[in-house]
Structures are given as structure tokens and as C-alpha cells.
Chains A and B, each alone.
Chain A
Amino acid sequence: MESQVTEAPRSSVSIRDLTLSFGAVKVLQNLNLDIGEGEFLVLLGPSGCGKSTLLNCIAGLLDINEGQIFISGKNVTWEEPKDRGIGMVFQSYALYPQMTVEKNLSFGLRVAGVKKEDIAERVTRASEILQIGPLLQRKPANLSGGQRQRVAIGRALVRDVDVFLFDEPLSNLDAKLRSELRVEIKRLHQRLKNTMIYVTHDQVEAMTLADRIAIMRNGVIQQLDTPHNIYNKPVNLFVAGFIGSPGMNFLSGELTGGAQPVFRSGNATIPLDRYHFDGTPPAGTTKAVLGIRPEHVAILDGVDRMPYSVEGDIEIVEPMGSDTIAWTKIADQQFTFRAESEVHLQVGQKLRFGFDPARGSLFDAEGTHRL
């Protein structure tokens, strides 16, 4: 199966038992993470989950309380940021306002005492890669948001670092620019093949850019996996609800195990015989939550091929242009599905819809973990 996690040959960044507390508040607890060489890892989570804090720890901008950090095989736990072989791109760009773009790019090299010819060469190379050559003599105030972020990336680029750290680099840009720069960062990664660690709260950025995504909550990594697995096989209710837009439908009910496991919720009885359980399905009856993605729901002709189908009233219709989100109910619980925009759905209309429970996710109602 393609769900196999691709292990990178050698880890570029390793974090061992990292703990960080601000006073009595433990922001990160016993965190372990291995990032392969050339891997694009995205740290994803809601605000306050510790993802930016973790990035700052890797950068050396925050002193950690316990644990170790290795970069390129070297223990950098006590090293200064400049000695860690990292470059960092910030959300607010953090360009030095009184310096031209060229001076911004070369600042790190100048303070490190690199020779003038080398500096010029590296600045030229970086400005070619990022196509900011014509902007070199301008000041940051005279650049647009997208240009500024490109310069900020360039500042990391000229320093020839092993690891790039991005701290929500696209959050200050408008939607159109964001998607443009997203592609550019991806292209940059394919060209440079550096290890990149990228912090974001935007799941689209995470899904599109990452080799692997680490989903964080309250300072703990919930799931570390490929975007495909995160999307299709979320390990718990939090991950399932966090990834996907519109969010996954959750139906509360009971799971009855055995040779022919079924999920019952109100008057709905959903067969689970093709569902791939993590391990053996629990015997007897347990409270469970069945998660179904709105995009995995079929209507009209598709319904016949689905192992489970039911009829419902359409309550709200949200046309999105590319597709349409419709709200209905199963067993008196909210249920949304996504339909082609050509299908004309009307409020109050009765419609048969169905899904394959095997593509869904089943969670323990109490432990919230995947079953």
C-alpha cells in the first residue's frame, strides 16, 4: 500500500525528549521528532499548539529546558542560532528596513566576514533563483508583500544553510499571492533539495507542500505522517476534525464488534464489514464515532455503488463555485456532503445519498483514538 511511511535515509534534524516550559506552563513536553535529509516537514496545528515555539527551539532562539537537538548529525542544543546551519523566514518578513535588498541579503555574510567577491556571487545567485534581481537596490518599504517575502527567503538562501525554517511565511499575504508563493516554495524545495521545516495553521499549505505533516495540539504531536495518510487515516478525532474543509462528518453511535461489525446510530445501521480496523475490532458493544468526509459521499447515480445509503432532506445549500456543499441529517445528526456544482440542489428537496464506510474513520468515543 502507498500508506507506507517513506523513511528518509539519514535524519537531518533530530529532536530528543524536548521539553520547554514558560514558568509553570509546559509548552512542549517530551517531544521527539526525526526529520529526514531533504524532507519537507510541515508543523500544523491551531494557534497556541506550540508549533512556532518548536521552530524557535530548533532555530536556537529559545533556550530549551530539557532534551537535545541534532542538526546534520551535530548536537546543537547549546549552539547559537548562527552556528546551527539554519536559515529562518518569518511571518512579518523581518527585513532590516534601513537596508537595501542587497544589504539585507548580504548582512549575515558581512557580519561573518565573508569575502566581498563571495558575497556578490552568492547574492547574485540567490537573486536569480528568486527573481529579485531588479529589486536589489530598493528598500523594503518600496516592495510589495510577495517581494518582501521573497527577499526574506533569499536571506536564508545566501547563507548556504542545511535547514530552512519557515514560520508561517505566507500568513500576511492575500489569498492569490499566497497560492502563488506556495508553488514557488515547492519549486524552490525541488530545486535546492534542502531540509525544510514549515510552520503553518493553513491546512491547504500543509497538504500541498509537505512530504510529512506533524499535527500538533497542546505541545504534543498528534500524528506524524504523509498528507495522504493524515487525510485518509487520521489517528484521532482531533486530527480528523482539523484536516479537511468542510470538516469531516461525525456520527455518534455504537459499534458492535464480531465477525460482522456494524455501527448503529439512531435508526441508521451502517455495515462495517469492509472497514479496515486498526488491529482487531473490539468485542461487544462500544460507544464510537464514525467520521465520513463530505467529499466521499455520493449522490444520484453514484449511490447504487455505495454499501450504505439513506434518504434525507436538504436543509442548507452552499454553492462554492467549483462545487456545492449541502447540509442534511442522518439519524438527527448534522451531515454535509459535497456535490458537483452542476447538480442543482434545492432546500427541502429529498435526496438519496450514500457512502462507503470503509473510506470513513471510526473512533473510540471516549479515548478519541482510531479503531
Chain B
Amino acid sequence: MTTMAPTLAATGRVDGEPFGLRPRSVTIGRVGIYAFLIISAIFFLIPLYVMVITSLKGMPEILAGNVLSLPQSPTIQPWIDAWLHACTGRDCSGLSPGFFNSVKITVPAVIVSIGIASLTGYALSFWSYKGANVLFGILVFGAFVPYQVVVYPIILGLRTVHLFSSLPGIIIVHTIFGMPVLVLLFRNFYAGLPIELFKAARVDGASFWQTFFYIMLPMSLPITVVALILQVTGIWNDFLFGVIYAGRANWPMTVQLQNMVHTTQGVPAYDINMAATIITAAVPLIIYFVSGRWFVRGIAAGAVKG
């Protein structure tokens, strides 16, 4: 032992030379990346910040000038007004009717469209029936049809079955327009599952519906969450279909918001408009935050193979 070179420790390693974890150093590139990220974050957060503080100020304070300053006497009156009293066109009962209209449109449309799409995707990927590929081709093609082209034919169609300007009418329209993307999503998900799973179910004697409900549907949680995010945000944010097909009584929140912002006489009520906009945007935001976590969890738990 004593004959060893002095730089060698008893274990035989060379002291003073690279050993173990490589130290991280701060490079210019890294500083640049962080600077870029921080600037982008500020860029996207400032409008939200302005909206929130403006909605908490009174009108005199807003008109006084500084957009970025914090409210001196915070008030939630604009929020109450936006929800209950602001005028949307001729009605002055705030956004709340529009909110409930949107709920009445979104919830059934999301459930129906996802239900039909997952069933269609399942049938397309596992039951190779006659014309399956043609049907799928048509559906995919449907994803590329511009909405404007079919607006008027749909009006005629809905009028023929007496569903134009009605709640069922707008729900049907949303369901149909969700189909191409949703079916594509579900079909590709099911096509990625091992075909042997389907074979095993057939050998076990499960029927078309039993295979779907007991085996395929429980496995499709991750993709269902994706579809849910897509559909809720898509339908909630929709303006065009709502204003055309829903009818005045069922106008969704987005249409009401637009009416509110545009029917002000005199000085626009910036505080109320800001509050109303935040309320309208809140639903998709909440969906993102809540189901985003479920989404990740679903992918992690859905380990099919391993």
C-alpha cells in the first residue's frame, strides 16, 4: 500500500481528476433560453393581467389612464353586473342566460359526439365490415370541408326536419362537425391496441357491445380525455354555429358576449366587458387545468403492455 503513487487514494482512484457527476456550468445558451422563456411568459400574461385588474376597477379609474396600475379601490361590482345586469342586445340580464345556454349546448353535444365517435372508431378498427374503409375515407375528407360551404345546406336540412333554431338542432350540428376529427382520433387509438386483445374477447364469447363496453371503452380513457378537451373547448368557444343554428333563445355565451360588447351606448363599460370575457373564457381554461392532469395520469396508468 505505501508504495502507491501519492495521487492515488487507497481505493485506487486518481484524486483531483474528473470523478462522478459532471458539474453543470452556466452557459450563454442556457441564459438565452431562460431569458426567452421569461419574456414569452410575460408577453402572454400581460393581457390577462390587464383584463383582471381592469375588471376590478371602477370606470372613473379606468378612464383616468394607467392601464397597468393596480386598482386603488378594488370592486367586484363589474363581475356582478357582467353576470346579472349588463345588456346583451335588448335584454339586460347579464351573461348568466348565455352561460346556461352554452352548458345546455356543450354538455349533450360533447357526450353524444364522443359516444358516437368512440363507437365508430371501435367498429372501424376491429370489425372489418364491408365499406369500412370507404366510410373512413369520407369521414377524413369531412375534416377538410370548409364550414362556410355547408352552412346554408344545413339550414335547409334542419328546417326540413323542423330543428332549425332549436337546441337539438345546434347539438346535432356540433356532433356532426366533431365527427371527422374524433373518429380519426378514436380509430387510431384502437388501431394501436393489440389485435390479440380483440381476438381474446371473441374467443371468450363477448359480443360486439360487450367487447366495446367491458374491454375497449375502459381502455380508451386517455383518448377520451383528449377528445373531451377538444370538444368542450371547441363547442364552448364556437360562435358561428351558435349564432346561425341555435336561435335567439338558445344563443350561447360567446354570442351574448359579443352582443354585450357591441351594444354599449356612450363610453364602453370596459370593466364589465373585461369581467364578462374572463367568465366566458373560464370554462375552457378550467377544463385544460383539470383534465390535463387526468390526461397525463390516464396515459401513465393505461400501460397496455409492459
Question: What residues make up the interface of A, taking CB atoms closer than 8 Å to B?
Answer: 56, 59-61, 80-82, 86-88, 90-92, 94-98, 107-108, 111-112, 141, 155, 159, 167
Contacts of B306 in A (CB 8 A): 141
The answer on a CB contact under 8 Å between A108 and B204 is yes
B17 at the interface (CB under 8 A from A): no
Taken together as a complex, chains A and B put the C-alpha atoms of A95 and B304 apart, in Å, by: 9
A82-B218 contact given A92-B305, A94-B197, A96-B197, CB 8 Å threshold: no
> Are A141 and B214 in contact (CB-based, < 8 A)?
no
In the complex the two chains form, what is the Cα distance from A60 to B205 in whole Å? Answer: 12
Give complex CA distance A155, B206 in Å: 13
Pick from A80, A90, A95: contact of B199, CB under 8 Å = A90
Distance in angstroms between the alpha carbons of A112 and B197 in the assembled complex: 18
Instruction: Enumerate chain A residues within 8 angstroms of B218, measured Cβ to Cβ.
Output: 98
Question: Which of B201, B203, B214, B219 meets A97, CB within 8 Å?
Answer: B219
**Residue B11 is within 8 A (CB to CB) of chain A in the complex:** no
The closest CB in chain A to the CB of B197 belongs to A94
- Cβ contact within 8 Å between B205 and A88: no
Residues in B whose Cβ lies below 8 Å from that of A112: 205
Contact across chains for B204 and A98 when beta carbons are under 8 A apart? no
- The reply to whether A82 and B202 form a contact with Cβ atoms under 8 Å apart is yes
Taking CB as reference atom, which chain B residue is nearest A83? B205
What would 19 A/B residue contacts be, using CB atoms closer than 8 Å?
A: A81-B199, A81-B205, A82-B205, A90-B199, A90-B200, A95-B200, A96-B197, A96-B200, A96-B201, A96-B215, A97-B303, A98-B215, A98-B218, A107-B214, A108-B206, A111-B205, A141-B303, A141-B306, A155-B204
In the complex, chain B residues whose CB is within 8 Å of the CB of A60: 202
With both beta carbons as reference points, the residue of chain B lying nearest to A89 in the complex is identified as B200
Q: Which residue of A lies closest to B204 (CB)?
A: A108
Pairwise interchain contact B303-A94, C-beta atoms closer than 8 A: no
Bound-state Cα–Cα, A21 to B304, Å: 31
Partner of B196 from A82, A91, A97, A107 at Cβ < 8 Å: A91
Q: Known interface pairs A97-B304, A111-B210. Does A82 touch B219 (Cβ–Cβ under 8 Å)? A: no
Chain B residues within 8 Å of A155, by CB: 200, 204
Alpha-carbon gap, A95 to B204, bound state (A): 11
- The CA of A8 and the CA of B207, in the complex, are separated in Å by 35
Q: Which residues of A contact B215 (CB under 8 A)?
A: 96, 98
| Residue numbers in B under 8 Å from A90 (CB-CB) | 196, 199-200
With A92-B305, A94-B194 known to touch, is A87 a contact of B203 (CB < 8 Å)? yes
Q: List 8 A-B pairs, minimum CB-CB distance, nearest first.
A: A82-B205, A108-B204, A94-B196, A94-B200, A90-B196, A98-B218, A81-B203, A88-B203
Whether A86 and B214, one on each chain, are in contact in the complex, defined by CB atoms closer than 8 angstroms, is no
Report the bound CA distance from A81 to B214 in whole Å. 18
B209-242 CB contacts (< 8 Å) to partner A: 210, 214-215, 218-219
- In the bound complex, CA of A111 to CA of B215 (Å): 12
Given contacts A96-B197, A96-B215, A107-B214, contact A82 B305 (CB under 8 A): no
CA distance in complex: A4, B158 (Å): 78
Chain B neighbourhood of A82, CB < 8 A: 202-205
Whether A98 contacts B219 in the complex (CB less than 8 A), given A107-B206, A111-B205, A141-B306, comes out as yes
Task: Report the minimum CB–CB distance from A34 to chain B (whole Å).
Answer: 23
Contact A61–B199 (Cβ < 8 Å):
yes
Query: Which residue from B196, B207, B210 sits with its C-beta under 8 Å from A92?
Result: B196
Q: A137 to chain B: closest CB distance in Å?
A: 17
User: Quick one: which of B199, B205, B210, B302 contacts A94, CB cutoff 8 A?
Assistant: B199
| A81 contact set on B, CB distance < 8 A | 199, 202-203, 205
A91 to B199, CA, bound (A): 12
CA–CA, A141 to B204, complex, Å?
Answer: 21
CB distance from A177 to the nearest CB of B (A): 15
- What residue of chain B has the Cβ atom nearest to residue A145's Cβ? B306
In the bound complex, do residue A107 and residue B305 qualify as a contact, i.e. CB atoms below 8 Å apart?
Answer: no
A56 to chain B: which residues have CB within 8 Å?
199
- Residues 280-306 of B, flagged 1 when their CB comes within 8 A of A and 0 if not, give 000000000000000000000011111
Q: Shortest distance in angstroms between A119's beta carbon and chain B's nearest beta carbon?
A: 13
Residues A107 and B219 in contact, CB atoms below 8 Å apart: no
When the two chains form their complex, are residues A108 and B199 in contact, meaning their CB atoms are under 8 A apart? no
CA distance A107 to B205 in the complex (A): 9
Residues of A within 8 A of B202 (CB): 60-61, 80-82
- Distance between Cα atoms of A32 and B205 in the complex (Å): 27
Within the complex, the shortest CB–CB distance from B211 to chain A, in Å, comes to 9
Most buried by A among B196, B207, B215, B306: B196
Contact B203 A86 (CB under 8 A): yes
Say how far B182's CB is from chain A's closest CB, in angstroms. Answer: 22
Distance, CA A124 to CA B206, complexed state (A): 22
Q: Is the CB of A107 within 8 A of B204?
A: yes
Complex CA distance for A134 and B200, rounded to whole angstroms = 23
For A94, what are the chain B residues with a Cβ–Cβ distance below 8 Å?
Answer: 194, 196-197, 199-200
Q: Which residue of B lies closest to A142 (CB)?
A: B306
Q: Which residues of B contact A59 (CB under 8 A)?
A: 199, 203
| B53, chain A: closest CB distance, angstroms | 47
CB pair A61–B203 under 8 Å, yes or no, is: yes
The minimal Cβ–Cβ distance linking A126 to chain B, given in whole angstroms, is 14
* A88 nearest CB across to chain B (Å): 5
